[in-house]
């Protein structure tokens, strides 16, 4: 395990700060996806659509597959074209399955191939053209409309670093569709610790980012969620609805930002649309 030494700040302080951001960004509206929890919280036994986004790590595909096999939704959709996480996803699948055709495949196609191979899940609606978190939302909604699939309740599943931003994107696009229920369920939530050793993840998940990259993802999304001239809110780029960022989250962001363990990821212009 790598010993992270870029900062003089106590490593447990950094772990706690990262965990604060993970809890805030990696929204889960339910403790578990099941008929019982859906009924208890939303008064439904099934959502119309379970929507998995390609930005997640491969482990997240297993979580979505388990939920789908429990029957939590009537339709399964995978969303993701070719964007900044595609090469990483191709590499992780290729390492595990050397015979898997990953060349030129979109994230949705990669995940669909994996779900078919491992779980024999085949009846999947694919959106393969989106390139970023914003048009993930708009293209997904357009694809549902094209397929004439009702979308009164949507379970959205994304990497924890992007889950809250994805929800804010849906809230913006569905502002005139108040009868649509969005149910957030981040595919995993990786927590850090520095007790009895160096800074490390408490649990390893298949395909998990390294610590520096994960912190970079966390920092980048807090910056994007801000409702100022640089952020994605209504007072900035207007990609999402307003999001309140609590003081404890801002404090955690500052701690990680000065630690230099990660950087604030800038948007890649190659994937704009």
Q: pLDDT tens for residues 208-234?
A: 999 999 999 999 999 999 999 999 999
Q: Which residue has the tokens 């399964």?
A: 76
Q: Give me the pLDDT at residue 175, please.
A: 77
Structure tokens at 211: 């610590």
Helices 86-96 and 107-119: crossing angle, nearest 10°? 30
Report the alpha-carbon distance of residue 261 to residue 4 in Å, rounded. 8
Residue 267 pLDDT grade (very low, low, confident, very high; cuts 50, 70, 90): low
What's the first-to-final CA gap in the chain, in angstroms? 39
Q: Give me the pLDDT at residue 11, please.
A: 92
Encode pLDDT of 135-185 as tens digits: 889 999 999 999 999 889 999 999 999 999 999 999 999 975 568 999 999
Residue 97 has pLDDT above 60, yes or no: yes
Beta carbons within 10 angstroms of residue 87's beta carbon? 11
Residue 1 pLDDT grade (very low, low, confident, very high; cuts 50, 70, 90): very low
Query: Parallel, antiparallel, or unpaired: how do β-strands 73-79 and 125-127 relate?
Result: parallel
> Mean pLDDT for the chain?
91
This prediction has a pTM of: 0.91
Residues sharing a CB contact under 8 Å with residue 184, sequence separation 6 or more, in sequence order:
27, 28, 29, 156, 163, 164, 167
Report the alpha-carbon distance of residue 40 to residue 250 in Å, rounded. 33
Report the alpha-carbon distance of residue 46 to residue 190 in Å, rounded. 27
CB 112 within 8 A of CB 126: yes
Which string of DSSP letters, residue by residue, matches 139-177? HHHHHHHHTT---SEEEEE--HHHHHHHHHHHHHHTTT-
3-state secondary structure (DSSP) of residue 88 = helix
Report the alpha-carbon distance of residue 139 to residue 107 in Å, rounded. 14
Report the alpha-carbon distance of residue 166 to residue 130 in Å, rounded. 13
Structure tokens at 71: 């029957």
Structure tokens at 267: 């948007």
Residue 261 pLDDT grade (very low, low, confident, very high; cuts 50, 70, 90): confident
């Amino acid at each position: 395990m790598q010993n992270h030494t870029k900062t003089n700040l106590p490593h447990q302080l950094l772990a706690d700060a990262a965990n604060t951001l993970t809890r805030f960004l990696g929204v889960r509206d339910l403790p578990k996806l099941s008929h019982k929890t859906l009924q208890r919280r939303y008064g439904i036994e099934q959502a119309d659509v379970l929507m998995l986004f390609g930005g997640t790590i491969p482990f997240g595909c297993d979580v979505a597959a388990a939920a789908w096999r429990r029957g939590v939704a009537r339709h399964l959709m995978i969303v993701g074209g070719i964007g900044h996480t595609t090469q990483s996803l191709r590499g992780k699948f290729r390492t595990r399955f050397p015979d898997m055709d990953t060349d030129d495949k979109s994230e949705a196609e990669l995940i669909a191939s994996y779900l078919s191979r491992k779980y024999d899940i085949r009846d999947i609606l694919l959106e393969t053209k989106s390139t970023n978190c914003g048009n993930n939302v708009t293209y997904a909604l357009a694809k549902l409309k094209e397929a004439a699939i009702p979308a009164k309740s949507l379970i959205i599943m994304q990497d924890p670093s992007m889950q809250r931003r994805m929800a804010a994107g849906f809230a913006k696009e569905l502002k005139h569709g108040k009868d649509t229920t969005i149910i957030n369920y981040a595919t995993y939530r990786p927590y850090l610790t520095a007790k009895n050793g160096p800074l490390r993840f408490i649990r390893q998940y298949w395909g998990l980012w390294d610590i520096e990259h994960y912190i970079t993802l966390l920092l980048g999304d807090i910056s994007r969620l801000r409702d100022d001239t640089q952020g994605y809110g209504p007072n900035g780029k207007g990609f999402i609805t307003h999001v309140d960022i609590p003081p404890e989250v801002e404090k955690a962001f500052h701690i990680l930002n000065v630690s230099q363990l990660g950087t604030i990821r800038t948007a890649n212009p190659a994937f704009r649309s």
